[in-house]
Amino acid sequence: MSYKWWLITAVALFCGGLLLGLATSGGITVLLAEDVAGLGELAELLEPLPQSSLLGVIFIKNVTAILISFAFSPFFCLVPVIALVFNGGLIGWVSVLVVQEESLGYLLGGLLPHGVFELPAFIMGEAVALSFGAGVMLAVFNKDKRSELLPGLKKSLKYLAVVVALLLVAAIMETYVTPLFLGRF
């Protein structure tokens, strides 16, 4: 399957999770209340950090998540599939809560500045993980596919370099620009 189809698959999984999060936000609120409280505590811990350190934390967290997904993708592509659906669902769920408690403008101000870089990078990174994982699984069961592993890995690493660059831009935007947008609301 070409990379384009893996990208379409990744978008579909993410959008499916997003729709699930939007549709079930009320019922999930109770289940994830402790997780959100934990995120609030993490935000309080990170708040006193200088912006350059915060940028580093955000960037390293995002790159690590993509690399973990890529590394574990040969195990039936479970990690990238779960990452796409879960992150889409979480964004949908949080979006409903933010719009209810703040406003649509606040939500857009919090997501758009860095999200225009981070979401495409995330989806592209997970599509690369899906493609690589499927290639490895095929090579395990089909000797003819083994010769495609190294070229596939090289191609995947090129895409991952683009993902890392986009994640750096997203971290810069999230650290320096998103707070300016949120401050306007």
DSSP state of 144: G
Mean pLDDT confidence for 159-165: 98
Specify the pLDDT at position 24: 87
Q: What angle do CA 139, 64, 129 make, to 5 degrees?
A: 25
- Closest to 166 measured CA to CA, from 62, 61, 10: 62
Q: Which residues constitute the domain of residue 140?
A: 51-183
| 41 pLDDT higher than 80 | no
How many CB atoms lie under 10 A from the CB of residue 173?
A: 20
What DSSP element (H or E) covers 163?
helix 149-172
SS3 call for 74:
coil
Name the phi and psi angles at 49, rounded to 5.
-65, 145
- Whether 17 maps to a domain, the answer reads no
List pLDDT tens digits, range 16-29: 999 999 998 765 55
- Whether 13 maps to a domain, the answer reads no
- Whether 131 maps to a domain, the answer reads yes
Mean pLDDT confidence for 46-70: 89
Mean pLDDT confidence for 31-36: 55
Q: What angle do CA 146, 147, 149 make, to 5 degrees?
A: 65
| 56 pLDDT higher than 80 | yes
| 46 pLDDT higher than 80 | no
pLDDT top residue among 67 and 180: 67
Mean pLDDT confidence for 119-139: 96
Specify the pLDDT at position 181: 87
| C-alpha to C-alpha distance for 165 and 125, rounded to whole angstroms | 11
- Whether 19 maps to a domain, the answer reads no
User: Within 2-143, where are the H helices?
Assistant: 3-23, 25-46, 51-72, 78-101, 104-141
- Whether 114 maps to a domain, the answer reads yes
How many residues in the chain?
185
Specify the pLDDT at position 173: 96
- Whether 117 maps to a domain, the answer reads yes
- Whether 77 maps to a domain, the answer reads yes
| 6 pLDDT higher than 80 | yes
| 38 pLDDT higher than 70 | no
- Whether 152 maps to a domain, the answer reads yes
What DSSP element (H or E) covers 1?
none
CB 51 within 8 A of CB 112: no
Check residue 76 and give left, alpha or beta (phi > 0: left; psi -120 to 50: alpha).
left
| 33 pLDDT higher than 60 | no
List pLDDT tens digits, range 63-105: 999 999 999 999 999 999 999 999 999 999 989 989 988 999 9
Mean pLDDT of the chain: 89
Domain count of the chain? 1
Looking at the chain, the whole-number percentage of residues with pLDDT higher than 90 is 71
